[in-house]
């Protein structure tokens, strides 16, 4: 079952690459959605104030950053295996980053 806070593999078609993504969305409706909102993770940190660093302690394979400016909706059938879980305590940090990226911060 796909859940909010899952970090899963996803293969993007452009550019052609597999990368971890964070599953977003309201838990009570995620199971009804065909397209799931996700935020990709990247090994490349650019020092942007809204990037959220993650480490092995967060359950990811290696140090990386969440890239809120890359938010996407992806086909739920193409979400891959579970890698880890985003700590519930960090959702406020992500909320703030998303508001900043969208110009509401």
Integer Cα distance of 101 and 48 in angstroms: 10
Which tens digit of pLDDT belongs to each residue from 43-68?
999 999 999 999 988 888 889 999 99
Integer Cα distance of 101 and 66 in angstroms: 12
Report the pLDDT value the prediction gives residue 56, as an integer from 0 to 100: 87
| Full set of structural domains in the chain with CATH | 6-101 (2.30.30.110)
- Write the DSSP string, 7-24: EEEEEEETTEEEEEEEE-
The pair of three-digit structure tokens given for residue 82, joined into one six-digit string: 């579970």
Report the pLDDT value the prediction gives residue 57, as an integer from 0 to 100: 83
The confidence band for 69, taking pLDDT boundaries of 50, 70 and 90, is very high
Q: Taking a C-beta distance cutoff of 8 angstroms, is the pair 79, 55 a contact?
A: no
Report the pLDDT value the prediction gives residue 13, as an integer from 0 to 100: 85
Which tens digit of pLDDT belongs to each residue from 6-48?
999 999 987 778 999 999 999 899 999 999 999 999 999 999 9
């Amino acid at each position: 079952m796909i859940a909010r806070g899952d970090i899963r593999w996803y293969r993007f078609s452009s550019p052609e690459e597999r990368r971890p993504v964070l599953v977003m969305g309201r838990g009570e409706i995620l199971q009804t959605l065909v397209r799931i909102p996700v935020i990709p993770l990247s090994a490349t940190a650019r020092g942007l104030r809204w990037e959220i660093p993650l480490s092995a302690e967060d359950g990811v394979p290696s140090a990386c950053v969440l890239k809120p400016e890359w938010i996407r909706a992806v086909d739920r059938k193409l979400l891959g295996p579970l890698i880890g879980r985003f700590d519930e305590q960090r959702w406020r940090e992500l909320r703030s980053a998303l508001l900043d990226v969208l110009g509401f911060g």
